[in-house]
Amino acid sequence: MPMGKPQRIRDPLHNLIAFDEKQFDQALWRVIQTPDFQRLRRIKQLGFSELVYPGATHTRFSHSLGVYHIAKRLLEIIRQKDESDYNSSFGRYAKAAALLHDIGHGPFSHAFEDVGKRLGFKLAKHEDVSDAVIRRRQIAAILDDEFGTGFSANVADLIKSSGASRGIYGAVVSSQFDADRLDYMQRDRIMTGTQVGGSLDCTWLLSNLRIGEVDWSADDSKGGKRKTFVLGPKAIHASEAYIIGLFQMYPTVYFHKATRGAEKLFSELLVRAFSLVREGDCAKTNLPSRHPLKLFAEEPEKLERAMALDDSVVMGALPLLAEAEDKLVADFAKRLLERRLFKCIDVRERLRHALGKNEDSEQRLVIAQQAVKNRLGEWSAEHSQDFPRILRDEGRRNPYKRFQDGQSSLLDQILIQEPSGDIIEITDCSELILSIRTFEFFRVYVASDDSDARKVVDDAIEEQKHVYEER
């Protein structure tokens, strides 16, 4: 096949992302032109975050290109540091996997996955869709025709497997210091305009990246040594900033109360609409008979139905859903269209303030929080079975998942190579990382004009305050 011409893409983070005239780059360029990859232009990277940060309109398409670009840089480091043992085949798998790792994301990504989980739709989970797309659709034909039968399957396997099982090439795609994180944590900061966690010196981190060998599993008897990325001692402070910067994006951006509130409305809306379709009551949703959302609800196991969905399909459906006969569908669709979200009540923070601080405050908080959950659950069962009036939201994020004997692998950690040559986990040399507390939240959302729902939340919190005052 004649060589194609080099291609370059302008990117706000990486400047130029290049695909040269080599056979492999040209094949990936053809992959980018497929409808399945172009669909990522219509999937926002941060979902509803643009309701809070208007600049956060970047897409899975731009992110995927960025991950590919960083993967090339990581692989070049592997080649330079370990040229005699560099596996060019695994390197090609890793570059293709980096480009295609998000190919199966649905509309509004993680919120859509929540809908699928609640309804038992396997193909709402982006990992399953990605795996099927890479193995079975046009992308597979391009890769296998160019590089031999089985190439696409090897790419899908690399995405599906843990970083540990593929060693250093898997670490390029999936690890605590992978191309995915190195792109999105920078890209999301730029596009949201946030600067939490201080400056992130990824250039310095990459320049101090080395190749080391560590035990594959926590149990030394299970498999010997595997190569992975380690950082030199000069990169300790930069790696601390990397961990803190990524961690602080969660309370600031990814778990922002308004974003999560929109996601809750979205989930309830789609669960109700899909349920009505499956019950034969599609007319109550006001969706046309051939609308992609209706077709997916009817045949959620079909890959072509899942791949017909994107953010524009959902947003385009909202004016139709806003005229639905079903009260919940109509109300929640209007709220999303008009950014008229439910109001957030931060139950955990209010309880923390009400209960005060003492030696058992965390235990008290856990007990009080569960009591509030129980009370709200009882009230909702009595008053809002058909139309949820209190939407609950809870989650947690560890600043860094530490290595613990028998439970994980050192390959899943950020590792530092000391001047002596010894390789240690970052928490063995960073008191700062050890000192950071896990971020947890428990919030509820109620309509601003629903005084009864708000009162039951306020009363439940106040009741717990009195319980502990009486003790």
Where is the domain boundary, 173, 196, 219? 196
Please check whether residue 322 lies inside any domain of the structure: no
Rounded distance, CA 307 to CA 108, Å?
Answer: 13
* DSSP H or E segment with residue 143: helix 138-147
The predicted structure's pLDDT at residue 281: 97
Please check whether residue 33 lies inside any domain of the structure: yes
User: pLDDT by residue (tens digit) across 166-202?
Assistant: 688 998 998 888 999 999 999 999 999 998 766 788 9
**CATH number for position 408:** 3.30.70.1370
Apex 162 CA angle, 158 and 164, nearest 5: 105
Higher pLDDT, 214 or 365: 365
- 3-class SS at 359? coil
- Give the helix ranges, DSSP H, for 308-360: 311-321, 327-338, 347-355
* pLDDT (average), residues 317-336: 98
Closest CA to 459 of 322, 341, 347, 335: 347
Task: Pick the range with the lowest mean pLDDT from 55-64, 170-179, 215-224, 450-459.
Answer: 215-224
Please check whether residue 3 lies inside any domain of the structure: no
* DSSP H or E segment with residue 445: strand 439-446
The token duo for 362 is 């965390």
Residue 405 confidence (pLDDT) above 80:
no
The predicted structure's pLDDT at residue 467: 79
* pLDDT (average), residues 297-319: 97
Closest CA to 446 of 341, 315, 354, 324: 341
User: pLDDT by residue (tens digit) across 27-50?
Assistant: 999 999 999 999 999 999 999 999
The predicted structure's pLDDT at residue 197: 66
Rounded distance, CA 146 to CA 25, Å?
Answer: 11
Q: Which domain holds residue 367?
A: 344-470
Question: What is the CB neighbour count within 10 angstroms for residue 442?
Answer: 21
* pLDDT (average), residues 115-121: 95
Closest CA to 49 of 113, 110, 118, 117: 110
Where is the domain boundary, 175, 196, 217? 196
Rounded distance, CA 287 to CA 275, Å?
Answer: 13
Question: Using 50, 70 and 90 to split pLDDT, how confident is the model at 84?
Answer: confident
Q: 196 with 249: CB under 8 angstroms?
A: yes
Please check whether residue 241 lies inside any domain of the structure: no
Question: Using 50, 70 and 90 to split pLDDT, how confident is the model at 222?
Answer: low
Phi, psi at 157, each rounded to 5° = -65, -40
The predicted structure's pLDDT at residue 402: 66
Residue 109 confidence (pLDDT) above 80:
yes
| Measured CA distances, 369 to 138, 393, 445 (Å) | 50, 12, 16
Q: What percentage of the chain reaches a pLDDT higher than 70?
A: 93
Please check whether residue 248 lies inside any domain of the structure: no
Question: Using 50, 70 and 90 to split pLDDT, how confident is the model at 406?
Answer: very low
* DSSP H or E segment with residue 155: helix 151-160
Residue 470 confidence (pLDDT) above 70:
no
The DSSP symbol for 390 reads S
The predicted structure's pLDDT at residue 82: 80
Phi-psi domain of 241 (left: phi exceeds 0; alpha: psi -120 through 50; beta: other): alpha
The predicted structure's pLDDT at residue 408: 54
Where is the domain boundary, 163, 196, 229? 196
The predicted structure's pLDDT at residue 4: 75
Question: Using 50, 70 and 90 to split pLDDT, how confident is the model at 227?
Answer: confident
**CATH number for position 164:** 1.10.3210.10
Please check whether residue 52 lies inside any domain of the structure: yes
Q: 19 with 29: CB under 8 angstroms?
A: yes
Question: Using 50, 70 and 90 to split pLDDT, how confident is the model at 161?
Answer: confident
Average pLDDT taken over every residue of the chain: 91
Closest CA to 6 of 20, 23, 25: 20
Please check whether residue 451 lies inside any domain of the structure: yes
Higher pLDDT, 404 or 76: 76
* pLDDT (average), residues 48-65: 97
Higher pLDDT, 102 or 167: 102
Residues 6 or more apart from 257 whose CB is under 8 A from it?
344, 346, 443
User: pLDDT by residue (tens digit) across 233-269?
Assistant: 999 999 999 999 999 999 999 999 999 999 999 999 9
Please check whether residue 145 lies inside any domain of the structure: yes
Q: 245 with 205: CB under 8 angstroms?
A: no
* pLDDT (average), residues 8-26: 94
The token duo for 270 is 């789609």
Residue 83 confidence (pLDDT) above 60:
yes
The predicted structure's pLDDT at residue 162: 56
Rounded distance, CA 77 to CA 458, Å?
Answer: 56
Task: Pick the range with the lowest mean pLDDT from 51-65, 198-212, 433-447.
Answer: 198-212
The predicted structure's pLDDT at residue 163: 45
Residue 2 confidence (pLDDT) above 60:
no
Domain count of the fold of the chain: 2
| Measured CA distances, 44 to 255, 318, 364, 404 (Å) | 16, 17, 40, 36
Higher pLDDT, 218 or 306: 306
Rounded distance, CA 203 to CA 181, Å?
Answer: 14
The residue written with tokens 């969706």 in the block is 287
Question: Using 50, 70 and 90 to split pLDDT, how confident is the model at 5?
Answer: confident
* pLDDT (average), residues 61-68: 98
Residue 460 confidence (pLDDT) above 90:
yes
* DSSP H or E segment with residue 211: strand 209-215
Rounded distance, CA 30 to CA 37, Å?
Answer: 10
User: pLDDT by residue (tens digit) across 123-155?
Assistant: 889 999 999 999 999 999 999 999 999 999 999
